[in-house]
Amino acid sequence: MIEASPRVPDAGRGIRRIRVPQKLRNLELFLLVVACGINAFAVVLVQLGAIGTVDSTVITLCASLSVLVLGMHFALRYVAPNADPFILPVASILNGIGIAVIYHIDLINGDTGWDSTAIRQVVWSAIALICAIAVVVIIRNHRVLQRYTYVFMFAAFVLLLLPMLPGVGQEIFGARVWIHIGPFSFQPGEIAKILLAIFFAGFLVQRRDTLSLVGRKILGVRFPRARDLGPILVIWALSMSVIVFQRDLGTALLYFGLFVVMLYVATGRTSWILLGGGLFLAGAIIASQTLTYVNDRFSAWLDPFSQKNYGEDGGSFQLVQGIFGLANGGLIGTGLGRGRPDITPLGQSDFIISSIGEELGLAGIFAILCLYLLLIARGLRISFAGHDDFGRLLGVGLSFVIALQCFVVIGGVTRVIPLTGLTTPFLASGGSSLMANWIIVALLLRLSDTVRNQPRLVI
Amino acid sequence: MSELTLLILQFAFLALLWIFVFVVVYAMRSDLFGRRVKKLPDAQAAGAAGFPTAAPAAAVSTNAPPRQQAPVPQSKVPTFTPLEGSSAGTHPRATTGNASRLVITAGTKSGTEIPLGTMPLTIGRSTDSSVVIRDDYTSTHHARLMVWNEEWMLQDLDSTNGTFLDGKRVTSPVNVPLNTPIKIGATSFELRR
């Protein structure tokens, strides 16, 4: 038992710490061991279902991920002993299940070695986890980030513009969001979303008073003055230019949604949500009328089963195959390793949720959604308990990025909203997305460590 | 591998996944459903519902016999001055410069002090509060003491039973004067030099 934290001078009787750090970390270790066990079980099931035997690939696929998450756990014991114990296990189980399903698609396609997406995913997970450990070790106090608010803004804009540069920029499936250097391709927008969250938090902490206190009341809702609309219009213009020039609907929705939600949390004014929603709807409707690729997405969403949309290039073929996959899975799924997730184009990245739905069924999809819910709830909880405004806003922003991404992708695959090309956090194959999401996890762990630092008196 | 074995393994996997989810939910239950209430001894519960019985530690040692009915705590004296808002005039506002400690004046831990820094303090039943009060009257996240322009402010976090500064319920963030009782459930405390 640690009687009192060394940072707080002893103040007489009655000071004891509840939920001592050791206990938190032991809980995390227990959950992590269970999570690694489930990941290994998933890969074993894939092999049994697809090839009937178990071979040594299980070890290469699971061991490195397990070693790294346990490494992160031990790093936390030293540098962030009070960090939240649930985030790391939940993220690792999502990552592991993703690897198992990607591995099945590799088995069907006959990819081995470096052609195998699963092997590359494991390597990217390793890189991402090393980045996450580095973030936790280097950033000892999140308030340091506030000092560099505008540096982060500048860096985010540079990253957003990189794919537009001739030479490094690359167009894949119509969207110009990739950069290509040597054998590596990378989506800089994924890292930009973290930098933007940090910038928005720093900016709104300074400016929220003017954004929330003045304005005229219409129908019981206080609307901001015209001159305070500057920031939201700039971000709106930015996301609209992402739609037009990078041809990426999902990323635009992500950036704009992130800003509007952080603005709402910072000011507590419903009018920002109304304004933001209206602006984005207007933009999306204009885009769907003028840009063909947006128009295609809309008609594929509204009427995917018509022969015209199904057969058309860039039509609803992929969406419909995903839905067929989900239907094939039914309530409990075909079983890991026994479905046909390879029929859906991009079943290992954009459509991983329908691949999982096919193999694990509704029961499995709901478990995955519950894991996301727990992860996001932890993030919001950390920011709610935060002590400083910058940390609180940053926590909201980072957890909302994950939430919005889940909504946009899973909503797109299940036909709640038009399909857009975002990645499912932790599950989908893709290095940049994994790296960004693990860095978000590291930042949330760092925030939670500062928050929990001090129950000082228990009555 | 027979079909049946694979089916059973599939069920086992799904069950394991859900068990993991529920283990996590169980482990974080206090955050989702609030902390369990610690029952107070009867005398104290009466105190919280009615008038304050516990005097500040200093007062107890000088004049109050332990079982006296309704003693008048010394720190309460300014409450009875007739002018509205005069307590703010009597006591200067607490700033990070002049307030150095938080003293519990009534409740189970009366007499306990904690040093004040410049960091905000949260008060509530949840374990991540800076001051954890576990009784029937405290909400999970009850109130917050924060620093605005170097002055201590008290904010009620929409608690069920309210936060009282000098006997008045706090609705919006207010300045905290020095030596003025803040009451949460059965516990009162003051900011002092």
pLDDT the model gives residue A404? 93
Of B2, B4, B11, B13, which to mutate for an interface test with A (greatest number of A Cβ within 10 Å)?
B13
Q: Which of A35, A332, A451 sits opposite B14 (nearest CB)?
A: A332
Does residue A429 surpass a pLDDT of 90?
no
Measured in angstroms, the CA of B63 and the nearest CA of chain A are apart by 23
Q: Which of B109, B129, B135 sits opposite A455 (nearest CB)?
A: B129
ipTM of the complex in this document: 0.86
Does residue A105 surpass a pLDDT of 80?
yes
Does residue A446 surpass a pLDDT of 80?
yes
Q: Could B18 and A31 be called an inter-chain contact, meaning their C-beta atoms sit closer than 8 Å?
A: no
Interval A354-387: pLDDT, tens: 999 999 999 999 999 999 999 999 999 888 877 7
Interval A164-219: pLDDT, tens: 777 666 666 666 677 776 666 778 888 989 999 999 898 888 877 777 666 666 66
Q: Could A31 and B24 be called an inter-chain contact, meaning their C-beta atoms sit closer than 8 Å?
A: yes
Does residue A145 surpass a pLDDT of 60?
yes
- Residues in chain B whose beta carbon is closer than 8 A to a beta carbon of chain A? 1, 6-7, 9-11, 13-14, 16-18, 20-21, 23-25, 27-28, 31, 101, 104, 107-109, 112-115, 119-122, 126-135, 141, 187
- Write down the mean pLDDT value for chain A: 83
Q: Which of A41, A89, A459 sits opposite B134 (nearest CB)?
A: A459
Please give the Cα distance from B152 to B174 (Å, whole number): 9
Does residue A277 surpass a pLDDT of 80?
yes
pLDDT the model gives residue A182? 64
Q: Could B27 and A93 be called an inter-chain contact, meaning their C-beta atoms sit closer than 8 Å?
A: no
Residues of chain A neighbouring B9 (CB-CB closer than 8 A): 45, 48, 335
User: Helix or strand or coil: residue A70?
Assistant: helix
Of A7-11, A67-71, A430-434, B178-182, the one with minimum mean pLDDT is A7-11
Give residue A227's pLDDT band: very low, low, confident or very high (50, 70, 90): low
Return the ∠ at Cα B148 (arms to A263 and B81), rounded to 5°. Answer: 130
Measured in angstroms, the CA of A336 and the nearest CA of chain B are apart by 7
Q: Which of B13, B120, B129 sits opposite A45 (nearest CB)?
A: B13
Q: Could A457 and B128 be called an inter-chain contact, meaning their C-beta atoms sit closer than 8 Å?
A: no
Buried b (16+ CB within 10 A) or exposed e, A403-442: bbbbbbbbebbbbebbbbbbbbbbbbbbbbbbbbbbbbbb
Q: Could B130 and A455 be called an inter-chain contact, meaning their C-beta atoms sit closer than 8 Å?
A: yes
User: Helix or strand or coil: residue A5?
Assistant: coil
pLDDT the model gives residue A455? 56
pLDDT the model gives residue B50? 42
Residues of chain A neighbouring B112 (CB-CB closer than 8 A): 11-15, 457
pLDDT the model gives residue A74? 92
Please tell me the total number of residues recorded for chain A in this structure.
459
Residues of chain A neighbouring B24 (CB-CB closer than 8 A): 31, 86, 89-90, 374
Of B5, B24, B37, B183, which to mutate for an interface test with A (greatest number of A Cβ within 10 Å)?
B24
Q: Which of B13, B27, B133 sits opposite A27 (nearest CB)?
A: B27
- Work out whether the CA dihedral B45, B48, B49, B55 comes out positive or negative: positive
Taking the mean position of all CA atoms in its chain, how far away is CA B90?
A: 25
pLDDT the model gives residue A229? 72
Interval A341-358: pLDDT, tens: 888 888 888 899 999 999
pLDDT the model gives residue A95? 94
In this prediction, residues A257-262 reach a mean pLDDT of 90
Say if pTM beats, i.e. exceeds, 0.80.
no
The residue with greater pLDDT, B67 or A150, is: A150
pLDDT the model gives residue A11? 40
Of B11, B21, B138, which to mutate for an interface test with A (greatest number of A Cβ within 10 Å)?
B21
Please give the Cα distance from A397 to A403 (Å, whole number): 10
Q: Could A86 and B108 be called an inter-chain contact, meaning their C-beta atoms sit closer than 8 Å?
A: no
Q: Which of B17, B31, B115 sits opposite A9 (nearest CB)?
A: B115
Does residue A395 surpass a pLDDT of 90?
yes
Q: Could B10 and A333 be called an inter-chain contact, meaning their C-beta atoms sit closer than 8 Å?
A: yes
Over chain B (193 residues), the average pLDDT of each successive run of 10 is 86 94 85 60 48 38 39 41 46 81 82 79 80 82 86 87 88 87 87 84
Kind of pairing between the strands at A216-218 and B113-115 = unpaired
Q: Could A457 and B7 be called an inter-chain contact, meaning their C-beta atoms sit closer than 8 Å?
A: no
Q: How many CB atoms lie within 10 A of CB B151?
A: 16
pLDDT the model gives residue B41? 55
Measured in angstroms, the CA of B178 and the nearest CA of chain A are apart by 20
Give residue A456's pLDDT band: very low, low, confident or very high (50, 70, 90): low
Measured in angstroms, the CA of B129 and the nearest CA of chain A are apart by 6
Q: Tally A–B CB contacts below 8 A.
A: 124
Please give the Cα distance from A70 to A129 (Å, whole number): 10
In this prediction, residues A326-331 reach a mean pLDDT of 91
Give residue A9's pLDDT band: very low, low, confident or very high (50, 70, 90): very low
Q: Could B27 and A45 be called an inter-chain contact, meaning their C-beta atoms sit closer than 8 Å?
A: no
Q: Could A459 and B129 be called an inter-chain contact, meaning their C-beta atoms sit closer than 8 Å?
A: no
Does residue A40 surpass a pLDDT of 80?
yes
Residues of chain B neighbouring A381 (CB-CB closer than 8 A): 31
Does residue A52 surpass a pLDDT of 70?
yes
Q: Could B131 and A457 be called an inter-chain contact, meaning their C-beta atoms sit closer than 8 Å?
A: yes
Q: Which of A335, A367, A459 sits opposite B7 (nearest CB)?
A: A335
Q: Could B25 and A90 be called an inter-chain contact, meaning their C-beta atoms sit closer than 8 Å?
A: no
pLDDT the model gives residue B76? 40
Does residue A398 surpass a pLDDT of 90?
yes
Residue pair A86/B27 in contact (Cβ under 8 Å)? The answer is yes
Cβ contacts of A4 within 8 Å, gap of 6 or more: A10, A15, A16, A17
In this prediction, residues A128-151 reach a mean pLDDT of 90
The residue with greater pLDDT, A255 or B77, is: A255
